[in-house]
């Protein structure tokens, strides 16, 4: 089989109707914060137990097409010795891997950040493929204010995202391109829309320069929402309208799927907004989810490190996955939160 065929097979598996992606790729410091909040120590064994319960949730593959794993998880095994990527694949879930190595300040651009990890990326991808990974994810972040992000940050992160995507495709790995316009701050929804549009135009310009095949990648953007400290909140209808306006202006129809990040929204809010997006009529791309906290927060609260709570934690995951699967088809209703 050709490399192009392999990429196409993976993309088609990831954008199945009524399914989305579970982001379980929290870095060491991030998962430690999540665990501290529920009184659990972040040890390799606890992380393995937690991520194993996620992937072993019975029937998860009915709602989830792919899972983004952290590097550590890619090499871990379930209690019975089965490698966790193999456990995911057995559920019909495509294993993927986070490949950026984190973010830091962008030199001479106060307040802006740049993502690291391009050095040695091809070799790391080769190792990850041997462990079962078929797609990857790279996150760039954009702080928002009246003056941020700077043009330098927009261009530098676009270039890194495109170089990452090109390297992935040469390795037969489908890239998820994640430009996250952060929700932190008191900026308006209109300011978020302007920044998102500028960012996406730069990203797709860079992807074109680096000859990335748009048919063999997915976009993971943030929704167009006001900053969380802004006085006015936006309802699902407004979020859907503004988000789609920006996407139609910036994202080529060749991209097969857009899988949104939850970006600090509550689980119910992220689901309602995704549903509203899918009630706006047919779009050129499949619109679905690639949620981390919006899927996992209820799971962590149910689990709290207790082996006796594994079943309850898995039920919490399945509920949120099922509701978001419905939302990805425009079939979710807020009344489902209590009874379904």
Which residues on neighbouring strands pair with residue 99, listed in sequence order?
none
Inform me whether the pLDDT recorded for 134 exceeds 60. yes
Inform me whether the pLDDT recorded for 79 exceeds 70. yes
* Residue 103: per-residue pLDDT: 96
In order of start, what are the domains of the chain with their CATH numbers? 3-339 (3.20.20.70)
Number of residues that make up the chain: 340
Inform me whether the pLDDT recorded for 67 exceeds 60. yes
Q: Which of 26, 71, 113, 178 is catalytic?
A: 178
Pull the structure tokens for residue 325: 């699967």
Cα separation, 217 vs 8, in Å, equals 9
The Cβ of residue 322 has, within 10 Å, a number of other Cβ atoms equal to 19
pLDDT in tens, 153-167: 999 999 999 999 999
- Name the pLDDT band for 142 (thresholds 50, 70, 90): very high
Under DSSP, the state recorded for 230 is S
**Which residue reads 């993502």 in tokens?**
115
H or E segment at 297?
helix 293-303
H helix count then E strand count, the chain: 13, 10
- Name the pLDDT band for 337 (thresholds 50, 70, 90): confident
DSSP string, 185-218: SS--HHHHHHHHHHHHHHHHHHHHHTT--GGG-E
pLDDT in tens, 11-64: 999 999 999 999 999 999 999 999 999 999 999 999 999 999 999 999 999 999
Residue 178 is a catalytic residue: yes
- Name the pLDDT band for 338 (thresholds 50, 70, 90): confident
Inform me whether the pLDDT recorded for 1 exceeds 90. no
Counting residues of the chain whose pLDDT is more than 90, the rounded percentage is 94
Cα separation, 336 vs 340, in Å, equals 5
* Residue 340: per-residue pLDDT: 52
First to last CA, the chain: 43
Contact yes or no for 226/264 (Cβ under 8 A): no
How far, rounded to the nearest angstrom, does the alpha carbon of residue 167 sit from its chain's CA centroid? Answer: 19
pLDDT in tens, 190-240: 999 999 999 999 999 999 999 999 999 999 999 999 999 998 889 999 999
* Residue 3: per-residue pLDDT: 86
Residue 126 is a catalytic residue: no
Inform me whether the pLDDT recorded for 178 exceeds 80. yes
Kindly state the average pLDDT of the residues 107-115. 95
Short-list 22, 253, 66, 73, CA closest to 173: 66
Cα separation, 99 vs 154, in Å, equals 20
Describe the chain by its helix, strand, coil percentages, rounded to 5. 50, 15, 35
Inform me whether the pLDDT recorded for 144 exceeds 90. yes
What's the sign of the alpha-carbon dihedral 111, 142, 47, 131?
negative
Q: Which of 180, 220, 242, 269 is catalytic?
A: 220
Under DSSP, the state recorded for 222 is P
* Residue 231: per-residue pLDDT: 87
Q: What is the CA radius of gyration of the chain?
A: 19
SS3 135: strand
DSSP string, 37-78: HTT----HHHHHHHHHHHHTSTTGGGTEEEEEE-HHHHT-B-
Cα separation, 223 vs 218, in Å, equals 15
Contact yes or no for 277/324 (Cβ under 8 A): no
- Name the pLDDT band for 339 (thresholds 50, 70, 90): low
The Cβ of residue 18 has, within 10 Å, a number of other Cβ atoms equal to 17
H or E segment at 96?
strand 94-98
């Amino acid at each position: 089989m050709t490399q192009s065929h392999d990429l196409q097979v993976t993309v088609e598996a990831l954008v199945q109707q009524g399914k989305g992606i579970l982001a379980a790729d929290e870095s060491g410091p991030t998962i430690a914060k999540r665990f501290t909040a529920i009184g659990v120590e972040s040890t390799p064994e606890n992380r393995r137990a937690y991520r194993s319960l996620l992937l072993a949730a019975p029937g998860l593959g009915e709602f989830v097409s792919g899972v983004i794993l952290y590097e550590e998880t890619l090499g871990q095994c379930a209690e019975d010795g089965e490698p966790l990527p193999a456990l995911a694949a057995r559920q019909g879930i495509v294993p993927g891997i986070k490949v950026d190595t984190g973010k830091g300040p962008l030199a001479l651009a106060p307040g802006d950040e740049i993502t690291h990890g391009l050095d040695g990326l091809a070799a790391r991808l080769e190792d990850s493929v041997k462990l079962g990974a078929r797609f990857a994810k790279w996150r760039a972040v954009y702080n928002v204010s009246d003056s941020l992000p700077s043009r330098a940050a927009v261009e530098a992160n676009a270039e890194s995202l495109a170089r990452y995507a090109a390297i992935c495709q040469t390795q037969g790995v489908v890239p998820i391109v994640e430009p996250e316009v952060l929700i932190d701050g008191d900026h308006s929804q209109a300011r978020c829309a302007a920044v998102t549009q500028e960012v996406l135009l730069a990203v797709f310009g860079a992807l074109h320069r680096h000859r990335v095949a748009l048919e063999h990648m997915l976009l993971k953007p943030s929704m167009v929402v006001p900053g969380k400290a802004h006085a006015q909140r936006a309802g699902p209808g407004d979020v859907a309208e503004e988000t789609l306006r920006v996407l139609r202006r910036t994202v080529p129809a060749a991209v097969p799927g857009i899988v949104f990040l939850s970006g600090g929204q509550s689980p119910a809010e992220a689901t309602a907004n995704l549903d509203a997006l899918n009630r706006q009529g047919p779009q050129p791309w499949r619109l679905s989810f690639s949620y981390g906290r919006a899927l996992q927060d209820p799971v962590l609260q149910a689990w709290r490190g207790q082996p006796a709570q594994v079943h309850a934690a898995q039920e919490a995951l399945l509920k949120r996955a099922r509701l978001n699967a419905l939302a990805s088809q425009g079939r979710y209703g807020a009344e489902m939160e209590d009874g379904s």
